[in-house]
Amino acid sequence: MSKNSKKDTPATGKSGISEYSVVCKFHTTGDRSYRIYAANEAHATSAQRRDTMMSILTRMGLASKANVSATKLSQVELRKMVDTRSGFWLLIAVAALTLVAVFITALFAHEDQRTLRHILSNGLQPAGILLPVVGILVVTSEWSQRTALISFALVPNRTRLLAAKVLAGCVLALAATAVALVFSLLGTAIASTDVPNVWSLPVGLLLQDIVYVVTAMVIGIGFGAALQTTAPAIVLYFVLPVALAAIGSIHALTGVIDWVNTAEALEPLTTEVMTGHQWAQGLVALALWIGISLGVGIYRLTQRDLAS
């Protein structure tokens, strides 16, 4: 360790942290990157690591940032979604697949499908499928990359931190919807079809498109918070709707599954202006998926020991 880094090493306190090896970590907050040292978790208890981190943050003048505004906190979480390699390439994949879906529909679909509403419906599918994975990663990476200690030291209120992740996810989902809309407008112009109302896009349908992408992202964040491990969260997110659809093939359960499985209840969101009955099914399914996943996630997040 260099002479300069030795000066930043905290002095021995009641927790006896001088006996533990020190690891250099980088954590981005706002527009600046701070070098933060954390005691090696193999030798320190959760309480010691928490005390050590708060001591270091105080010495570095960062302890006051624990009261950072919700807007600033959401900006930090949004940067986490786009700055990591996995998040960056997933977003590149969403943009590329959106472009491919739009122009395949515009150039090769049946003529009556080359309308703005149908092109946009197909263009939103990559965002609806892949953005939730970004939401899962922004939560699970706190544990897999061991940044939870730093995040919770800066923001002790863990529920507030999860709310910032949800808000950042909604912003990213809105951005993805806007990109899909722009691509769809270009695709519709290229399609040059003579079908009536080719540019028709009811406001209600546009709002449903937004709901489709935003709720998918929120559910993804909920799964990440509930399971807190990347692989099981991603697998369960994609497998559970398929399992419910398989159960729904049982005639006696078809009516029940239509109110539970989001894949069935939310299918009309991007294709048609939904009726009152369809909205009732969709809202019940969303309440179950979002409520249960975020509810379990909040409980686990607030109860989990940083040592685990």
Backbone angle region of 228, left / alpha / beta, with phi > 0 → left and psi within -120 to 50 → alpha: left
Among candidate residues 167, 164, 168, 157, the one with its CA nearest the CA of residue 301: 157
Q: Cα separation of 145 and 157, whole Å?
A: 20
Write down the domain spans for the chain: 1-67, 68-303
One digit per residue, the tens of pLDDT, for the chain of length 308 reads 444 444 443 333 333 333 333 333 434 444 343 344 444 444 555 555 555 555 555 554 544 445 678 888 899 899 989 888 899 999 999 999 999 999 999 999 888 889 999 999 999 999 999 999 999 999 998 888 777 777 887 788 889 999 999 999 999 999 999 999 999 999 999 987 778 888 989 999 999 999 999 999 999 999 999 999 999 999 999 999 999 988 888 888 878 888 999 988 898 999 999 999 999 999 999 999 999 999 999 999 888 876 55
Q: Which pLDDT belongs to residue 283?
A: 96
Q: Which pLDDT belongs to residue 10?
A: 38
pTM: 0.78
Amino acid at 120: L
Could you give the 3-state DSSP secondary structure of residue 24? strand
CA dihedral 212, 216, 219, 224 (to 10 degrees): -170
Q: Cα separation of 80 and 185, whole Å?
A: 30
Among candidate residues 297, 308, 300, 57, the one with its CA nearest the CA of residue 163: 297
Burial class (CB in 10 A: 0-12, 13-18, 19+), 17: buried
Contact 94, 181 (CB under 8 A): no
Among candidate residues 235, 129, 116, 140, the one with its CA nearest the CA of residue 173: 129
Q: Which pLDDT belongs to residue 154?
A: 78
Backbone angle region of 185, left / alpha / beta, with phi > 0 → left and psi within -120 to 50 → alpha: alpha
Could you identify the residue written with the tokens 């109302």?
197
Q: Which pLDDT belongs to residue 54?
A: 54
Q: Which pLDDT belongs to residue 209?
A: 96
Q: Which pLDDT belongs to residue 213?
A: 97
Could you identify the residue written with the tokens 């807190």?
228
Contacts of residue 140, defined as CB under 8 A and 6 or more positions apart, other chains included, come to 224, 227, 228, 229, 230, 233
Beta strands in the chain (DSSP E): 22-29, 32-39
